[in-house]
A and B are shown apart, each in its own frame.
Chain A
Amino acid sequence: DSGVTQTPKHLITATGQRVTLRCSPRSGDLSVYWYQQSLDQGLQFLIQYYNGEERAKGNILERFSAQQFPDLHSELNLSSLELGDSALYFCASSVSAGKNTEAFFGQGTRLTVV
Chain B
Amino acid sequence: AQTVTQSQPEMSVQEAETVTLSCTYDTSESDYYLFWYKQPPSRQMILVIRQEAYKQQNATENRFSVNFQKAAKSFSLKISDSQLGDAAMYFCAYRGPFYGGSQGNLIFGKGTKLSVKP
Contact = CB atoms under 8 A, between A and B. Distances in A.
A88 interface: yes
B105 A48 contact: yes
Chain A interface size band reads: 20 to 34
Contacts of A102: 47, 50
A2 B44 contact: yes
A18 B42 CA distance: 26
B118 interface: no
Chain B interface size band reads: 20 to 34
B30 interface: no
Given A43-B91, A97-B98, A105 B103 contact: no
A56 B111 CA distance: 24
Interface string B76-115: 0000000000000001000001100111111111110000
Contact of A105 (B33, B45, B105, B109): B45
Which label, helix, strand, loop or mixed, suits the secondary structure of the A interface?
strand
Given A43-B91, A97-B98, A107 B43 contact: yes
A28 interface: no
Given A42-B108, A48-B104, A48-B105, A105 B44 contact: yes
Contacts of B91: 43
B49 to A, nearest CB: 11
Contacts of A104: 47
Given A42-B110, A42-B111, A43-B108, A56 B45 contact: no
21 contacts: A2-B44, A33-B104, A33-B105, A35-B106, A42-B108, A42-B109, A43-B106, A44-B108, A48-B104, A48-B105, A50-B103, A55-B103, A56-B105, A88-B43, A92-B45, A97-B104, A99-B97, A99-B98, A100-B52, A102-B47, A107-B43
Interface of A: 2, 31, 33, 35, 42-45, 48, 50, 55-58, 88, 90, 92, 94, 97-105, 107-108, 110
